[in-house]
Every structure is written in structure tokens, then in C-alpha cells.
A and B are shown apart, each in its own frame.
Chain A
Amino acid sequence: GAVVSQHPSWVICKSGTSVKIECRSLDFQATTMFWYRQFPKQSLMLMATSNEGSKATYEQGVEKDKFLINHASLTLSTLTVTSAHPEDSSFYICSGGSSGASDTQYFGPGTRLTVL
């Protein structure tokens, strides 16, 4: 299957700082990328959908000014957690989909964010 990478794989930061997470599709062009969040022992929750060159669409309850998403190219999307607080500590996972008959999504390995 297609490969999606994320960087960093884990990050620890102080409360009030901002953290940027990168998501790259390595061997395909991702016209759409998705960002999910997963708390311990819970399922994945979709945060937002981004299409290359346009604004992201956020799910209900997700603050767009806190979770900034940029999808500047067909292979790169970034999620910036601004003014992070301990409650933002979570596992953040991105996925990419390409247009096509099946339009399967492929997921990155995830980024573990810990806010102190």
C-alpha cells in the first residue's frame, strides 16, 4: 500500500507553546488529507479534512484557531497545535487519500504529543 510519514513521531512541550506536526505522502499524491486525534483507550476521532490549496474543514467541536492546518502541496500537510495545554496531549494521526476508483486512505504512524 501507499506510504504516509509523520514527523516528529513524538514530542514533549511546555504548556503555552506551539507544536507543528508534518504529514507527508511519500509515493502518491494526496489530494485530500485528514487529521485524527486518539486519546488513550479510545477510538480515532476525525478532527479536520484538508484539500490541497484550500481551507480545511473542521469537525464540530474542533477549534480551527487552535488546530491550524495547512495543505500547501499534494504531498505535505501540517497540523499546528497553538498554545498547547495538557489536555491537548494525545496521539495525532494523519491520513492521505488520492482520487481514484477506490480512494483508499492510508495512515501515517502517528505523533505522540505530551504537553507538560
Chain B
Amino acid sequence: DAKTTQPPSMDCAEGRAANLPCNHSTISGNEYVYWYRQIHSQGPQYIIHGLKNNETNEMASLIITEDRKSSTLILPHATLRDTAVYYCIVRYRPGFQGAQKLVFGQGTRLTINP
């Protein structure tokens, strides 16, 4: 079962920052937070992941609260091509049984408007 809660949908204006929240209040110290997105009729695309520190890459930033019970994915300058379903997934760190499993919830359908 998915261990995360996300809003079902969000809208954002093109060029603005898109902030996607995720609640993972039952996360354990051995679990990472991963973000993937799925554009219509394609396979999921890896975006970013983190354990407890904030992370940034060329696609997005990940802000994890100090208690690790929630996180926010930030797309700094959203474009129309960022319209997709965004999945926040909690997953065990390598070395734990079943560590590699990704359990997908319903995600957030993000629509970028022109």
C-alpha cells in the first residue's frame, strides 16, 4: 500500500513555480522519498529523491521537512511540457528486504496552463 498522500490535482501558470506537496507521516528512518512523473501514455520518469536533506537537480528541487513527515517538489519555472501525473513514493534504502519496490499511489495530476 502507498504510504504517501498527495492532492489529486493542481493547476499552475506557465512560467511560475509549481509546488507539489506530499505527506508521508509514517516514514521510517530507513526510507527515502522519491518523485516520479508520468506524462500521458508514457512510462514514469525519475525526477529526484532524498533522505533528509534538501536536494536539487536540473529538473527540480526537493524540500523535506525536518521531521521528514512531509516534502514538497518544486518545479521552478513550469512549462506546458511539465503537465503530468506526479508520484511521491516512499521506499526503503538499499540493503533492506524489498528495498527496490516502488509502490505507486494515485499521484497529483499537475496541469500547467498557458
A interface with B by C-beta (< 8 Å) = 1, 4, 6, 32, 34, 36, 43-46, 49, 91, 93, 95, 97, 99-110, 112
Contacts and interface: CB of A to CB of B under 8 A. Distances in A.
Contacts of B42: 109-110
Contact of B43 (A32, A99, A102, A107): A107
Contacts of B38: 44
Nearest to B94: A103
A100 B49 CA distance: 14
Interface in B64-109: 87, 94, 99-107
Contacts of A108: 43
Interface string B14-43: 000000000000000000001010100111
20 contacts: A1-B45, A6-B43, A32-B100, A34-B101, A36-B104, A44-B38, A44-B44, A45-B104, A49-B100, A95-B43, A99-B94, A100-B94, A101-B94, A103-B94, A104-B34, A106-B46, A107-B46, A108-B43, A109-B43, A112-B41
A82 to B, nearest CB: 23
Nearest to A45: B104
Given A100-B94, A101-B94, A46 B103 contact: yes
Contacts, number: 58
Interface of B: 34, 36, 38, 41-46, 49, 87, 94, 99-107
B11 to A, nearest CB: 19
Nearest to A9: B41
A29 B41 CA distance: 26
Given A32-B100, A106-B46, 18 more contacts: A1-B45, A4-B43, A6-B43, A34-B101, A44-B38, A44-B44, A46-B102, A46-B103, A93-B44, A103-B99, A105-B46, A105-B100, A105-B102, A107-B36, A107-B43, A109-B42, A109-B43, A110-B41
